[in-house]
Structure 1
Amino acid sequence: MTSPELHTAPVERTARTARRQWALRAAWLLLAVVAALYCGWRFAGPSPLQTNLLALLPATEADPVAEEAVDQLANVLGNRAVLLVSSDDDAHAKAAALQLGASLSASHAFASVTARIPPFDLGRIARFYMPYRFGLLTPDDRASVTNATGGQAALLNALTERLYGLPGAGLSTSLADDPFGWLQHWLSGLPLAASNLTVEDGLLVAHRGATTSVLVVGTLTGSAYESSVQQNVLRAVAQGENALKSAWPDVSVARTGAVFYAESARRASERDVHVIGIVSAVGIALLMLWIFRSPRLIALGFVSTGLGILCALAATLLIFGKLHLLTLVFGASLIGEAVDYSIQYFVVYLGAREQWNARRGAREVMPALAVAFGTSLLGYAILTFAPFPALKQIACFAIVGIFTAFASVIGLLPSLMTRPARRSPRTLFAAAAAALARWQALIGGRRAWFVALALAIVAAPGWLQLRSDDDIHLLIQRDASLVAQERVVSRAVGVDNSAQFFVVRGASPEDVLERAEALCAKLGTLTGASAVSGWQSVTSFVPSAKQQRADRAVLAAHAFDDPAALRAMLNAAGFRDEIVQAWPRAWAQSDGKTLSVDAWLAEPWSQPFRHLWLGRSASTPGAFAAVVIPQGVSNANEPALRALAPTLPGVSFVDKAASVSHLFGVYREDGALWLAGALVLVLALLTLRYGWRAAFAVALPVWLAIGVTLAVFGYAHVRINLFHMLALMLVLGVGANYAVFLREGAMRANADTGAVWTGVLLSAATTLLSFGMLAMTSMPALKSFGATLSLGIMVSVLLAPVGMPSNSRRTN
């Protein structure tokens, strides 16, 4: 009789296997649920999507205070939406601006809307400066008072002009408080209206030819990069514009502001995500259905890919807090690569037919997937060394995504694919095997070196024609219609929207003011093509204490040195005796009074100019800073401005666009070295697996793919940038997989090379479908990625049979 134990042992093993399978499924399900709940929670609150284009950019300034200034200015200027209402009919433009302002205010999309300027007592400005008037002299008054030959005659001339001259426009002071007009002269130099705008009927109006334009400014309720703020602003502006069109068809509205650019970028990126995701998913599903003829395999493939993308999304949000749109678009294209691992497992599954064993199949495919994962990991890991935050996010997203996809193929799919395949595309596999044999005979074996030499000879002239272009606009492409509207606003208002400025730093506010004055003095000496049209500086409103003391010393030496003569002059001019006595007394009482930046900042009317003072640095203890913004910066005078900064202590010239472009170039050049190092590392990795001779054969296809890609760019006169170099890293990481898959498939015992080649072609097709879609995005950086990856991957897969062992040397 048969022992009962012999019957129960297989049953127990089967039960243990079933429990392990359910445990694995439960673990993966738990991981998916946790990741999904975390992502859902993040997206349920304030949007974690980062639409700030400046967040893409690295820190480029050697001085951290200068980098801080870039961020502060961006924040200050980014919380406003500016609208310009224009018409050839003056009345229509003003009425439409008032209606638009009322409509925007009623929408509650803005914290405040300014269409009509609230009444303001200009005398408040004069009263603010009055206590400090003896330390405030214009250069002309300073020169006049110190004129040694003029003496009392210079004072008398100033007094006469003040009494009998024409009244000046702008801020004025009383004769009793300012008999010589020194304060009035100084006040007239305040840059309170540094634009083409004038106040008419309580509105800010600009006239250009027959066109009247009225400015309407809205302050946002939150960050310009929050999707809810963007949607509310866009809805309110659209409703306001539609109302204007029906009431005044002749009125046009131009708008500018970070909120509009951010919304445009977000909308374009979301469209890219949807297009890439849908087209990739549908295309991959159709390809897999055509090859495998099994909806179940398609579903399992997307389970593995979906787990990878879901975990990548959760990990990126957890690590970085925000998800940049660039990362999201790139993540949608990761579908094609993540599905490669499951495709290779399906190939083994279909090739095994009735002899299928899920665990044995996982062990057979494990070496190929491990080597492929290693090369891909290397390509993405290099992105973490790039200085751009978005690229670090992309690297994190991709590494977590492909690792999860790889792990799910090895750890989850075997528990879901325990039964043999019901049918296998044997005819297709046989045709693929025949085609592979012919193609390998043509380019493989000893002929591979001739193929490599021929490709190198053809590619060499293309390499010699390679040129570079590191312009920042390769990274950021702004909406053309918004750029056109911004130009309309800038021309009408007359404000130079330059991104170049000086940062002045010091150990105290006084140091900063003194250094800013020295800088402004140097700017005033620039002549000819190097000259600027003006500048904005906090010292226009608050001179340094040193300058105020110097001006007071000038008056002490030349005006108040002889009190009796001064009183006689005032008496002779007809001033009442109480004024004659009060003015010298005010001089004496003002001793020690010095105007400070803090006092100026406390004045409500200083608000439009507060961005000129950065104050205490958050990044550098004990440092204070301000900005000086030159006007009329051009290619002609920019070199002179750049050369001016090193001549003054604590002064640096900031041009974020130029700095980033320079950094592009530096890292592009370094990228060539990274690529060379990565080629060596991949060769070393392959050598560990195959030995050095076979490793060269396996690495040769991707090496040639990189060379051919560069040659094509040279022949096509495509200028190379950092993103082409980084994409070549991914060509190396992804493209090497195809030769690895082929070689590993050929090394397996009783392998169906037709099935292996079919799987490689399908993997390449899915990757091309996803990454190739990047070339259709609205983001120039991703276009470079997509074009480079597509070309490199095509060449890699075509040359992959070079890495296969010959029939006589295949090993089990």
Structure 2
Amino acid sequence: MTPWHWQRSRMSRWRVRATWFVLALVAVLYCVFRFSGPAPLETNLLALLPATEANPVAEKAVDQLANALGDRTVFLVSSRDADRAKAAARRFGATLQASGAFASVTAELPPFDLGQIGALYTPHRFGLLTPADRAALAHSSEGAASLRDALMQRIYNPVRGPLATPLADDPFGWLEHWLSDLPLATSNLDLEDNMLVAHRAELTSVLVVTTLHGSAYESRVQRAVLAAASKAETSLRAAWPDASVARAGAVFYAESARRASEREVHLIGMASACGIALLMLWVFRSPRLLLLGFLSTALGIVGALAVTLAVFGKLHLLTLVFGASLIGEAVDYSIQYFVVYLGAPRDWDAHRGARSVRPALAVALATSLLGYAILAWAPFPALKQIACFAMTGICVAFASVMWLLPAMLPAASRQAPKAAQRRLFERAAVLLVRWQRAIGGRRSWAVALVLAAVCAPGWLQLQSDDDIHLLIQRDPVLVAQENQVRDAVGIDNTAQFFVVQGATQETVLRRAETLGAKLDALPAGQSVDGWRSVTQFVPSARRQSEDRALVAQHVFADPAALRATLSQAGFRDAIALAWIDSFSRAGEQPLTVERWLAAPWSKPFAHLWLGAVATNGQRAYAAIVMPQRVTPHNLPALIELARVTEGVAFVDKAAGVSKLFGEYRVDSGMWLGGALLLVLALVVGRYRLRGGIATTLPVLLAVGVTLAAFGYARVPLNLFNCLALMLVLGVGANYAVFLREGCQRDGADLGAVWTGVLLSAATTLLSFGMLGMSAMPALKSFGVTLTLGILVSVLLAPMGMPAGVPKEGRKHA
């Protein structure tokens, strides 16, 4: 090479290095920028789930309920002594308040004027009747006598509720009855000493409710809440050793999931990196090649992280943990390049070496991209992110091997293999020859038939399980504490409910009333323990008008007789006249949802009203009706009730996701078949029909063996096992491709080629195998399936070697 060409080549290498440095710097700075602000890690487990409802309003209802409960945390302070429990709750609440981690802390309720509730309803009292009062008026046949009896019962009734109304405003008690029927007391808690207290057996529990400064899914909020809660509990145990604290709230689950994912990222990332480093050092005996291999992998991961954050804005937990396992796959491309580098002659050129390995890496990249592309088609946000992350990472790793590594490995730096490496390659060549003779060539189909016969009973024993908990697993300690809180408070979960829609607010209220009547009419075996709806606070305008008309007909039709009845009961004439006149002054204006929502005391129930929603570009309204005590026995009746009631849909998020799991698990069989045909077409285009079939056969058998293993082990298949088989197809096909391409390269050392294939498989197994230890069930399914599938793929890879290679292998050995 002339000095001019040498200088030009050197400048070209520096330009390539500078370009990659700039790109890497931009990606790193972008990631640092995103993580320097609010953490972009998505710890909301519901965000991992797909939209399961055909009705977008139902999805909005799920989100609204999650948001309504997500910014609250609940602590239950318990002791066997009631006074100690209350004192401990006061101390606990004060410590939480002093921490500054919460927007509000409520251990003792502030004085509340119950008259505010009555003040909202009093102007509309003539249109508010309970079902009992409505029936009594409608079936009243005695006129004034009936009214007089009701009036006497009202005057002389010694039992008055907390929402008692003045006789002058409500002489017959209809408003008081209405207020008493309001579902304000929705729990087992009693108000004692301005505290919410539950008594269970010998235990007294006091509720402490807090609200957060921000989202429960922000890392900053989670750390502050956990630190404050831990400090408060430590202080509590020091003062009252017998007191205990149970906690419930989305922030605790989010923090637990984030902490678990970070722990797994560190474990998988460090274990994979260390294992891969040791393997590469043992094979290549070169720290420089090790660093260059990790440089390529690091570029792939940084690029994947930057692109994923730019596209999605958030990084799911599954993506973060799965990304840590991508190290083993991304390093494969550099390993194959280094194998060519070590087996090349002294005058080897780095760029020619990259071109020689490009066909093998391109085919491997295409098959891997195909497997991940199928993940991107699934409707799960987390799987789409994983696909984006992985596809970006392996593309960047491939590009770095093609262009950056040749610029980092000039010809003058190449060294001949060391004696230990030569011995390793020689032994690998001997092993390859013997193994290929056993399973390759004409014996391939016999091996395939034997494996199919062995696997067939396992295929027949395959089972499935599509439970949602395969994706989300909550901390059992937190679940136990949440159940303790629920048992004490006496509330059900809010995962199953009705969504009522209509073109107007009035339509929604009427349909909700119809649904409520049908719920009340359910037979004993299918009944629910009541229900919650906005109509229990705000009846429809039609219902209010009907009630007012009923009162007008049976009470105010004869003002003189009504005045006489009131006077005989002891009402002063001025008061009786004022009440009678108030009926005409009240007018026909009904109580509205807006007026009710404007009242501060309505906030705990505001989630029952979804308000205006957009459906298919049209404005509509929606509300929630929440049944109490949904069981497997009454669930079919509730679903049928929604089906036959206009404008009503039953929402069961967990069941919807599980059903979707099952549908896509079944569909994944067709996806896998289609992907297999695409891989076959890809390799046939490269190796012709016979060579393409031989190259595809190992991974096809690997999929079959993996499925049979699950059948024999009686491990139910889930969607994530089936999707992992796509990756087995995409990644497992690489080994037969690498081996076949190595066999076809001129002057290639087959021992080095086989060593490189085994090393690539080992690094991938090391990374993906770590996923099998994940606490996340979805990733564990991925890990176990990938480990078994990839292991079988690499063991059967010699089936794809071209004919006549054993002799060459012996020669190279």
Question: TM-score range, shorter-chain basis?
Answer: over 0.9
2:150 to 119, 139, 158: 158
CA distance in structure 1 between the aligned counterparts of 2:608 and 2:741, rounded to whole angstroms: 64
Match of 2:369 in 1: 377
- 1:617 offset after TM fit, Å? 1.3
CA distance in structure 2 between the aligned counterparts of 1:336 and 1:410, rounded to whole angstroms: 18
Residue identity opposite 2:35 in structure 1: F
CA distance in structure 2 between the aligned counterparts of 1:497 and 1:370, rounded to whole angstroms: 52
- When the two chains are superposed, the root-mean-square deviation of aligned CA atoms in Å is 1.2
Find the residue that maps to 1:412 and give its secondary structure: helix
Q: Is the 8 A contact 2:140 2:146 kept in 1?
A: no
TM (normalized to structure 1)?
Answer: 0.98
Alignment of 1:111 onto 2:83:
no
CA distance in structure 1 between the aligned counterparts of 2:495 and 2:285, rounded to whole angstroms: 58
CA distance in structure 1 between the aligned counterparts of 2:791 and 2:802, rounded to whole angstroms: 21
Alignment of 1:421 onto 2:415:
yes
Match of 1:663 in 2: 660
- 1:591 offset after TM fit, Å? 1.6
Q: Is the 8 A contact 1:353 1:421 kept in 2?
A: no
Alignment of 1:643 onto 2:635:
no
Residue identity opposite 1:421 in structure 2: Q
Q: Is the 8 A contact 1:613 1:627 kept in 2?
A: yes
Once the two structures are superposed, residues 585-634 of structure 1 have per-residue CA deviations (whole angstroms, 9 ceiling, x without a partner) of 00001121210000000101111111111111156641111101100111
Alignment of 1:124 onto 2:120:
no
- 1:498 offset after TM fit, Å? 3.4
Match of 1:6 in 2: none
CA distance in structure 2 between the aligned counterparts of 1:75 and 1:493, rounded to whole angstroms: 20
CA distance in structure 1 between the aligned counterparts of 2:805 and 2:710, rounded to whole angstroms: 39
Once the two structures are superposed, residues 787-807 of structure 1 have per-residue CA deviations (whole angstroms, 9 ceiling, x without a partner) of 000000000000000000121
Residue identity opposite 2:652 in structure 1: D
- 1:808 offset after TM fit, Å? 6.4
Q: Is the 8 A contact 1:147 1:154 kept in 2?
A: no
Higher mean displacement: 17-26 or 800-809: 800-809
Match of 2:127 in 1: 135
Match of 1:538 in 2: 534
Higher mean displacement: 380-389 or 350-359: 350-359
- 1:646 offset after TM fit, Å? 1.3
2:195 to 194, 199, 203: 203
Residue identity opposite 1:554 in structure 2: L
CA distance in structure 2 between the aligned counterparts of 1:657 and 1:106, rounded to whole angstroms: 38
Once the two structures are superposed, residues 372-412 of structure 1 have per-residue CA deviations (whole angstroms, 9 ceiling, x without a partner) of 00000100011110000010000000000000000000101
- 1:549 offset after TM fit, Å? 0.2
1:481 to 477, 494, 497: 477
Match of 1:430 in 2: 426
CA distance in structure 1 between the aligned counterparts of 2:579 and 2:614, rounded to whole angstroms: 44
Residue identity opposite 1:533 in structure 2: D
1:448 to 438, 444, 457: 444
Q: Is the 8 A contact 1:131 1:593 kept in 2?
A: no
TM (normalized to structure 2)?
Answer: 0.98
1:792 to 778, 789, 794: 789
Return structure 1 stretches of 4+ with deviation > 4 angstroms.
808-812
For structure 1, list consecutive stretches of 5 or more residues without a partner in the other structure.
1-8
Find the residue that maps to 1:296 and give its secondary structure: helix
Match of 2:730 in 1: 733
Residue identity opposite 1:326 in structure 2: L
- Within 5 Å, give how 1:450-469 maps onto structure 2: 450-469=446-465
Residue-pair matches, total: 804
Alignment of 1:512 onto 2:504:
no
CA distance in structure 2 between the aligned counterparts of 1:243 and 1:392, rounded to whole angstroms: 45
Match of 1:317 in 2: 309
CA distance in structure 1 between the aligned counterparts of 2:763 and 2:149, rounded to whole angstroms: 87
Alignment of 1:356 onto 2:352:
no
Find the residue that maps to 1:796 and give its secondary structure: helix
Residue identity opposite 2:144 in structure 1: Q
Once the two structures are superposed, residues 209-233 of structure 1 have per-residue CA deviations (whole angstroms, 9 ceiling, x without a partner) of 1111000011000000000000000
Once the two structures are superposed, residues 338-395 of structure 1 have per-residue CA deviations (whole angstroms, 9 ceiling, x without a partner) of 0000000000011114242211111110110000000001000111100000100000
Match of 1:4 in 2: none
Match of 2:758 in 1: 761
- 1:507 offset after TM fit, Å? 1.1
Find the residue that maps to 2:619 and give its secondary structure: coil
Match of 1:169 in 2: 161
Residue identity opposite 1:772 in structure 2: G
CA distance in structure 1 between the aligned counterparts of 2:404 and 2:756, rounded to whole angstroms: 20
Once the two structures are superposed, residues 43-75 of structure 1 have per-residue CA deviations (whole angstroms, 9 ceiling, x without a partner) of 001101100000100111111111111111100
Q: Is the 8 A contact 1:358 1:417 kept in 2?
A: yes
Residue identity opposite 1:498 in structure 2: T
- Within 5 Å, give how 1:68-83 maps onto structure 2: 68-83=60-75
Q: Is the 8 A contact 2:74 2:209 kept in 1?
A: yes
Q: Is the 8 A contact 1:50 1:225 kept in 2?
A: yes
Identity %: 65
Match of 2:499 in 1: 503
CA distance in structure 1 between the aligned counterparts of 2:415 and 2:341, rounded to whole angstroms: 7
CA distance in structure 1 between the aligned counterparts of 2:806 and 2:619, rounded to whole angstroms: 71
Match of 2:466 in 1: 470
Higher mean displacement: 181-190 or 149-158: 149-158
2:602 to 592, 595, 606: 606
Find the residue that maps to 2:560 and give its secondary structure: helix
Q: Is the 8 A contact 2:343 2:417 kept in 1?
A: no
Q: Is the 8 A contact 1:309 1:401 kept in 2?
A: yes
1:411 to 398, 403, 408: 403
CA distance in structure 1 between the aligned counterparts of 2:14 and 2:614, rounded to whole angstroms: 54
1:492 to 465, 470, 488: 488
Match of 1:586 in 2: 582
Once the two structures are superposed, residues 694-738 of structure 1 have per-residue CA deviations (whole angstroms, 9 ceiling, x without a partner) of 100000000000000000000001101110111000000000000
Q: Is the 8 A contact 1:144 1:154 kept in 2?
A: no
- 1:508 offset after TM fit, Å? 1.4
1:629 to 595, 611, 626: 626
- 1:11 offset after TM fit, Å? 1.1
Match of 1:295 in 2: 287
For structure 2, list consecutive stretches of 5 or more residues without a partner in the other structure.
none
CA distance in structure 2 between the aligned counterparts of 1:155 and 1:217, rounded to whole angstroms: 46
- Within 5 Å, give how 1:706-745 maps onto structure 2: 706-745=703-742
Q: Is the 8 A contact 2:433 2:806 kept in 1?
A: no
2:11 to 14, 19, 27: 19
